[in-house]
Amino acid sequence: MQALVATLVFQASAARPQQATSRRVMGILNAEPFGNPDLWAHFHAKLRELGWVEGTNLIVERRSANNQLDQLPNLADELVRLKVDIIMALGTQAPLAAKKATSAIPIVIWNAGDPIENGLVTSLARPGGNITGTSLISREIAGKRLQLLSEMLPRLSRVTVLLDRKNPNNVLLLRETEVVARTLAIQIQSVDVRDLGESDRAFDAVLMQRPDALITAEGGVATEQRAKITAFAATNHLPALYPFKEFVQAGGLMSYGPDLKDLIGAFAKYIDKILKGANPGDLPIEQPTKFELVINLNAARALGLALPQTMLLRADQVIQ
């Protein structure tokens, strides 16, 4: 009996460390404040479907630089010191900081700009090293957005792009927009907005440029300020095109971009595969294949715009 009890005690004590190691730790590194709670809820719901539940078998360490980019290296180093099992790095600046901090811990990038041009990987198909994930960059999307504005406004001659020049993806999209603009004989101007406190100054700069329309580039600052940006455009009777449908749902006129929930669902699968042992360098970096055109008819009416029927028929969603 004593031998049996001793055996059971040994087995129980041996099982405890094994159970502890089954809990995995995911670090999340973000250059910007964590926003869009609906998107994050969708992400964690997808993780739960795959068997990963925060607080049960998944510990999440969240670190945000709150747009103070000089803090990113310290935050990345902190996650490395915590010996997290995987780092989820958002945007473009956070993955670059994570890459400098570690070449051993898997890094999954979310919505990075061009990973090759930014030096994150050398190949999208076989990234190699410790990095994989998703990239928002599509060189064609910048031209498509400008063409949509031109279709809506046949006399379009001057467009202002609202962007964050600290974001390499924004700079690339501006460059691609300028290339297409030359073929359409449209003048492209730009206004830089680098943090949440700069929006009023940026709006004044936009009005001084007297554009026919506004394009808002992807980025955390723009997303955080989407209600303010769409209200500014409406108040000043400025037709505007936005990167995601969330801007249209906030009252904006039109958006053309990927469905973020589709992308983050694919992203959750990458997290799952790597936590189960997959090599990130063998997983291709995914880019969006589906882009949504969303139009707000109420916003169009307020601007006095009669949208082409062909555009309305092509729209994935029309908000009445």
Backbone angles phi, psi at 63, to 5 degrees: -135, 125
Q: Which two structure tokens, joined as six digits, stand for 60?
A: 């999440």
Greatest CA separation for the chain: 92
The third-level CATH classification (topology) of the domain covering 19-137+260-282 is Rossmann fold (3.40.50)
Residue type, 198: E
Beta strands in the chain (DSSP E): 24-30, 58-64, 86-90, 107-112, 131-135, 158-163, 187-192, 213-216, 240-242, 254-258, 291-296, 317-319
For residue 164, the model assigns a pLDDT of 86
Report pTM. 0.81
Per DSSP, 285 falls in state P
Stretch among 106-120, 199-213, 297-311 having the lowest mean pLDDT: 106-120
Bridge partners (DSSP) listed for residue 319: 296
Strands of 58-64's sheet in order across: 58-64, 24-30, 86-90, 107-112, 131-135
Q: What is the pLDDT of residues 222-261, one digit of tens each?
A: 777 888 999 999 999 999 999 999 899 999 999 999 888 8
Q: Are strands 187-192 and 254-258 parallel, antiparallel or unpaired?
A: unpaired
pLDDT given for residue 138 in this prediction: 66
Cα end-to-end span (Å), the chain: 76
In this structure, is the dihedral angle defined by the CA atoms of residues 230, 233, 237 and 240, taken in order, positive or negative?
Answer: negative
- Average pLDDT value for residue range 7-21: 39
pLDDT number for residue 195: 64
pLDDT tens digits, one per residue of 47-94: 999 999 999 999 999 999 988 889 999 999 999 999 999 999 998 889
Q: What CA–CA distances, in Å, run from 242 to 112, 134, 214, 252?
A: 18, 20, 9, 8
Are 63 and 78 in contact, with CB atoms under 8 Å apart? yes
Q: What is the pLDDT of residue 8?
A: 39
Distance of CA 283 to the CA centre of its chain: 19
Residue 292 confidence (pLDDT) above 80? yes
Query: Residues spanned by CATH 3.40.50.2300 within the chain?
Result: 19-137+260-282, 139-259+291-319
pLDDT value at residue 319: 93
- pLDDT at res. 197: 66
CB 110 within 8 A of CB 267: yes
Output the average pLDDT for the chain.
88
Give the single-character DSSP code of 67.
T
Q: How many CB atoms lie within 10 A of CB 233?
A: 26
Give the pLDDT score at 9: 39
In the block, tokens 């973000």 appear at: 30
CA proximity to 288, closest of 99, 96, 144: 144
pLDDT tens profile 134-177: 987 766 888 899 999 999 999 999 999 999 888 888 888 899 99
pLDDT given for residue 220 in this prediction: 66
Q: Which of 6-10, 53-57, 117-121, 137-141 has the lowest mean pLDDT?
A: 6-10
**Residue 274: partners with Cβ closer than 8 Å, 6 or more residues away:** 86, 106, 108, 132, 280, 283
- With cut-offs at 50, 70 and 90, classify the pLDDT of residue 1: very low
Q: How far is CA 108 from the centre of its chain?
A: 13
Residues 163, 167, 170, 176: is their CA dihedral positive or negative?
positive
Name the 3-class secondary structure at 135: strand
Neighbour count for residue 205 (Cβ, 10 Å): 17
Given this structure, which CATH class describes domain 139-259+291-319?
alpha beta
pLDDT of residue 15: 39
